[in-house]
Amino acid sequence: MSAKIRVAFYKAKGNWLNNIIRWWTKSRYSHAELVLPNNVTWIGISPFLSSKVESRFHLDCDYRNWDFVDLDLTNKQHATILDFFEETKGCKYDWFGMLLSQFLPFHIKRKNKWYCSEWIAYALRISGVLDWQTVKIYDQCDLSPGMLHKIILKQKRKNNDIRKSAKEMEDQGYLQHLRGRLRD
């Protein structure tokens, strides 16, 4: 069985911190969170709320403030994301790593500290939702919300190309089968 997980990208005006993040990263997004398949449980870390990895219910969310990217996932991938969440729940926001990663040409990762898009990139990568060859976290100094959006869209294009190729091969095989039957 499979389900969908959503990555939510915050695009509303927000406060001064949202504006600084957008300006610095040259992106329309200042924050990101994962929306679980039930569509009301959001998990991640927000500098705007408690500044620690947590889950909460978004029952009254203004969806116009967010862009969503849906990703298919298996039950095993879903369980792995939840395991990763349980292991990192309560970890604090990584202001130091987030800021330094923007100024230095390499990724700064502090143990048990995260920023929103970094946490999501790791959750999706560890679960196998994102392919490690597409999402080379070790090679990304910028894991801002805007960069995460680009990475996820790249993965979706790759997945669509694979599905399209498989469908074309399947269609060609079926056509060959029909040609063979018509000759008989």
pLDDT tens figures, 104-142: 665 666 678 888 888 999 999 999 998 877 767 666 667
Q: What is the pLDDT of residues 75-86, one digit of tens each?
A: 999 999 999 999
Q: What is the pLDDT of residues 57-80, one digit of tens each?
A: 876 788 899 999 999 999 999 999
Is 0.95 topped by the overall pTM? no
Q: Note the CATH architecture for domain 2-183.
A: Alpha-Beta Complex (3.90)
Closest Cα partner for 47 from 93, 99, 96, 105?
Answer: 93
Q: What is the pLDDT of residues 12-46, one digit of tens each?
A: 988 998 898 888 888 999 999 999 999 999 999 88
Domain locations in the chain as residue ranges: 2-183
Q: Secondary structure of the chain in the HEC alphabet?
A: CEEEEEEEEECCCCCHHHHHHHHHHCCCCCEEEEECCCCCEEEEECCCCCCEEEEEECCCCCHHHEEEEEEEEEHHHHHHHHHHHHHHCCCEECHHHHHHHHHCCCCCCCCCEECHHHHHHHHHHHHCCCCCCCCCHHHCCCCCHHHHHHHHHHHHHHHHHHHHHHHHHHHHHHHHHHHHHHHC
